[in-house]
Chains A and B, each alone.
Chain A
């Protein structure tokens, strides 16, 4: 808990009108930075995290004691080279790592906000994080990037602020959350709400938590982050610490044990209500909705240079959905590159050590900075 209180935060005084109509102000935004901002202030990179990520993108996360979620990408001599670039990452609003979210305390009641937290959107998250530019006195970013929900935020950032970043790298994402993805998110939410400890979202008042439900949500989601081939190669039908099946419902198979473990460690670090709010924000994401579904119009007038990356085995945000963004940018003659990386690690590829991915990311970033 001590470490949690040491998290860096800025209090955003500027009111933010959320898409749901509610205005928030004086709310905390927790952030972390890596590397140094140079004198010209032209080396700043804003990284957006995915559903269950947080601001601790690299190094050791002091709260969980685990490596940052993008440790392979951010660090000295890595793709986001902290010897050269100043990397910022903030916890999204709605999150549970220090930014304004359902587990924040309500000033008036002194209790946790819980289910009374307003429903937020990707747009709200991005607008809240834009305050980092003012805080660090940065006029224009060098790069915005992120994978999955982070990629959606990249798209939203460029849409909202067409000339505030030199380059943009949305990775393994989509311009509009698909029915399949909404379905998986709903499955996760229903698992949480079905847990009797959820108490209509007010579990914090009784000092309990819907750990079982959240764990099942995580297990289901985790499957969607992997690929069939990856699972088969890693686990196949291997049994867990036994020679033969036991004719029961214990974790006979290694894959069962693995998923249960993933579920169990997740509940220690993530708030169930945050999971509801953030998945909802993803579901509501449909960036061309206000443009009659014309994605090209979203990016009209942008001067930003794009590089879009997808992965062959990602079936959650498949190449076809990433390609739609490429097509839309092509249609307005925007500067856009695209590469599909061969990997059997599924959607999770963007978080893992996939050499082709890390190499192209580094090459693109370094070449763009030089120019």
Chain B
């Protein structure tokens, strides 16, 4: 399993209720279901992925997070997970608002656009960055709103969102992000993992 998923799973307490938004083929959900909590449900856009989740015995709703999160009642889950999907939304701000409303804690991960390889790509090659975590070309990327770790931290600070845990991931190594190393982590990390609350 991906290192990112292990970190997310480790952040969740036993037997709590979880909503995995954009749960993909259910890999993370299945791990959590087996090891941490049976009270887990998913929301997924792709029919193929929903089928795969059903095959794994997972409860998943086919739907679009931007339209369908509205229907979930406030504070209905202990955790809401959003793994590397935020940048693909038309309105990420609204989605974050829904996550905070639905979950007591939200776990958001983002591919970091501030990573040095991404920066160098644009600086030297003069083309839109293509890296391991951002594998698509500019013309076929699903990503509409890329941001860096620093952008996300600023976003939370500006809105008084309680960002109580920030982790950085590089080559499967985890480290903490704080206000003193933020610029450095923003340069050196491929992925940011954030636990936020209202």
A binding-site residues for B, Cβ under 8 Å: 305, 307, 326-327, 330-333, 335-342, 356, 359-360, 363-364, 367-368, 370-371
Query: Is B59 within 8 A of A360, CB to CB?
Result: no
The interface residues of chain B lying within 8 Å CB-to-CB of A340 are 47, 62
Count, chain B residues at interface, CB 8 A = 17
Report Cα–Cα, A327/B67, bound state, in Å.
12
Is B82 located at the chain interface by the 8 A CB criterion?
A: no
B binding-site residues for A, Cβ under 8 Å: 41, 47, 50-51, 54-57, 59-63, 71-73, 76
- 23 sample A-B contacts, Cβ–Cβ < 8 Å, listed by A number: A326-B61, A326-B63, A330-B61, A330-B72, A331-B71, A332-B73, A335-B41, A336-B61, A337-B61, A338-B62, A338-B63, A339-B47, A339-B50, A339-B54, A339-B60, A339-B62, A356-B51, A360-B51, A363-B54, A363-B55, A364-B54, A370-B57, A371-B57
User: Nearest 8 CB-CB pairs, A to B?
Assistant: A367-B57, A327-B71, A338-B61, A337-B59, A363-B54, A363-B55, A339-B62, A333-B76
Report Cα–Cα, A326/B72, bound state, in Å.
10
Query: Is A339 within 8 A of B51, CB to CB?
Result: yes
The interface residues of chain B lying within 8 Å CB-to-CB of A339 are 47, 50-51, 54, 60, 62
The interface residues of chain B lying within 8 Å CB-to-CB of A341 are 47
Report Cα–Cα, A359/B55, bound state, in Å.
9
Query: Is B76 within 8 A of A335, CB to CB?
Result: no
Report Cα–Cα, A339/B62, bound state, in Å.
5
A175 → chain B closest CB, angstroms: 15
B62 → chain A closest CB, angstroms: 5
The interface residues of chain A lying within 8 Å CB-to-CB of B51 are 339, 356, 359-360, 363
Query: Is A337 within 8 A of B73, CB to CB?
Result: no
Report Cα–Cα, A327/B69, bound state, in Å.
10
The interface residues of chain B lying within 8 Å CB-to-CB of A327 are 71
Query: Is A305 within 8 A of B59, CB to CB?
Result: yes
B70 → chain A closest CB, angstroms: 9
Report Cα–Cα, A331/B69, bound state, in Å.
11
A204 → chain B closest CB, angstroms: 47
The interface residues of chain A lying within 8 Å CB-to-CB of B63 are 326, 338
B66 → chain A closest CB, angstroms: 15
New contact pairs (19) apart from A363-B51, A363-B57, CB-CB < 8 Å? A307-B54, A326-B63, A327-B71, A330-B71, A331-B71, A331-B73, A335-B59, A336-B59, A336-B61, A337-B41, A337-B61, A339-B50, A339-B54, A359-B51, A360-B54, A363-B54, A364-B54, A368-B57, A370-B57
Minimum CB distance partner of A359 in chain B: B51
Query: Is A342 within 8 A of B71, CB to CB?
Result: no
The interface residues of chain B lying within 8 Å CB-to-CB of A307 are 54
Report Cα–Cα, A342/B48, bound state, in Å.
10
